[in-house]
Amino acid sequence: MKINFITLFPNFYEPFKNESITKRAIEKGILEVNVVDFRDFTTDKHNKVDDIVYGGGQGMLLMVEPIDRALETVKGRKILLSPQGKRFTQEKALELSKLDEVTFVAGHYEGFDERVRSLVDEEISIGDYVLTGGEFPSMVIADSVVRLIPGVIKEESHKNDSFQNDLLDHPQYTRPREYKGMKVPEVLLNGNHKLIDEWRNEQQVKKTKQVRPDLIERNKNAK
């Protein structure tokens, strides 16, 4: 898979490329990460990428031309990061993980010229709040996608993730067996995998009902 990031701040992505699971995926040849600075595509002699808002308003707006020219250098699904986009979900992460190439357009400052929206395939938000730019949201989504690409991590590591089948993940424990009076549930220590699986399934439903009952309702409505 190839992931492109179109941004004004390429250095944001150095840790993403050079640490942890993403780094290993790149080294294995499973993943390619391409960071494009759309300032390189401006036709202005001062490399200007933003300007005042027509009709008046606060802040500076990113211009359409340099972003358009940058997008012409990449292929695949083109995604604009914006608080106005559709909410990102685990289901969307799985969908994107099956693509050969994905491009994330990260804005900054006051926002985009509206015409930028006509250049992309979809608009995604990571939540109902506003950040200074789209760099962090693009990495959040990319990280969620990369771990689902076959061969990046073991399938068993994500098949019971939170939000798979509209359930949260079950509780998990490691050594020591007891810490400050808090004990590991006995069912996890008896080696009976059938009982362990049943307990984990029960805990997933219980936790989801307590913390995210909306997921239970969504699952009911889908049936």
Residues serving a catalytic function are 83, 110, 147, 161
DSSP H or E run through 102: strand 101-105
Q: Distance between CA 197 and CA 203 in Å, rounded?
A: 10
CA–CA separation, 39 and 67 (whole Å): 8
CA pair distance 74, 99, nearest whole angstrom: 14
Task: Give the separation between CA 75 and CA 89, rounded to whole angstroms.
Answer: 23
Dihedral angle sign, alpha carbons of residues 178, 179, 183, 188: negative
Q: Extract the tokens encoding 213.
A: 């009952």
Q: What is the DSSP letter of 108?
A: B
Question: From CA 218, how far away is CA 220, in angstroms rounded?
Answer: 5
